[in-house]
Amino acid sequence: MTVLVTGATGFVGRHLISALLAKGFKVRAVSRNIVAARAMPWFDEVEFVAADIHTPDLDVESLADSIDAIAHLAWAGLPNYQALFHFERNLPLDYAFLKRLIEAGVSQVLVTGTCFEYGLQSGPLSEAMAAQPCTPYGLAKHTLRLFLEALQREHAFTLQWVRLFYLHGEGQNPNSLLASLDRAIDAGDTQFNMSKGDQLRDYLDIRQAASRLASLIARRDVDGVINCCSGQPVSVRALVEQRVRERQSSIVLNLGHYGYSVHEPMAFWGVAQRISQLTGEEHAA
């Protein structure tokens, strides 16, 4: 089985490709950045295509040739969740690209969505809940799913819409919480500025997430929305304190330096029951 992976050199993509290869899949990897791709441990094990998927003259037929499934991870402009270009530019271009692939014969489509599709709903978030996005990014992802579901009425294909929660690990955005903390520790800073840290979030190691995505791709019979999460609420402060202990650091947390995000509720986490059942891995319900 051959999988086309877009956003191959991104945070999720680089780990998903490793997970796919470990499970015996063949991979055609797509990214604009061939320099970054050459630095990946899997570069010589995949068929790499240097391309911008939003280019109108992209040879989609060649890209889709002999492909069984696509894992569409590419999405420009993150983590700027409030920018209008998410639905002004990314949404129509992503839909056009995916539609052309489906018309070229790709019959299984996995797209990474986001927990931001749930908006400001609090507590445990299950796939059965209605999406209520309150950011341009969440709105664009939610709308792309609706577009693709409408396209299913004209073309027979499997759509696996996987909502990612908070992923962390090697290759994450350098401005993300744990990456910023690691940088402060490495620099010998005496304190780390953060919020009060009372927010409850759902955190998952990127390698675990990549393994679960690869397992979903192997399930060609599975369709619909799937949360990719731990199912376990953890406070931001507890997460940071755990990393400080792991690093054996004496850095002091300057709690309350930053305010809370206006586009996220104080407490939310994913219900992991469906992905647990589908991948056969242990999760908290």
Q: What is the pLDDT of residue 280?
A: 82
Q: Rounded to an integer, what distance in angstroms lies between the CA atom of residue 230 and that of residue 228?
A: 7
CA distances from 192 to 103, 180, 242 (A): 51, 9, 14
The answer to whether residues 195 and 181 touch, using CB atoms and an 8 Å cutoff, is no
Residue ranges per domain, the chain? 2-167+203-230+268-279, 173-200+232-254
Q: Which residues contact 155 (CB under 8 A, 6 or more apart)?
A: 102, 103
Q: Which stretches of the chain score pLDDT less than 70? A: 281-285
The pTM of this model reads 0.95
Q: What is the pLDDT of residue 114?
A: 98
Q: What is the pLDDT of residue 285?
A: 34
CATH 1.10.10.10 holds for 2-167+203-230+268-279:
no
Q: Which helix (H) or strand (E) element contains residue 148?
A: helix 136-151
Peptide bond into 265 cis (omega under 30): no
Residue type, 79: P
Q: What is the pLDDT of residue 281?
A: 66
Q: What is the pLDDT of residue 70?
A: 98
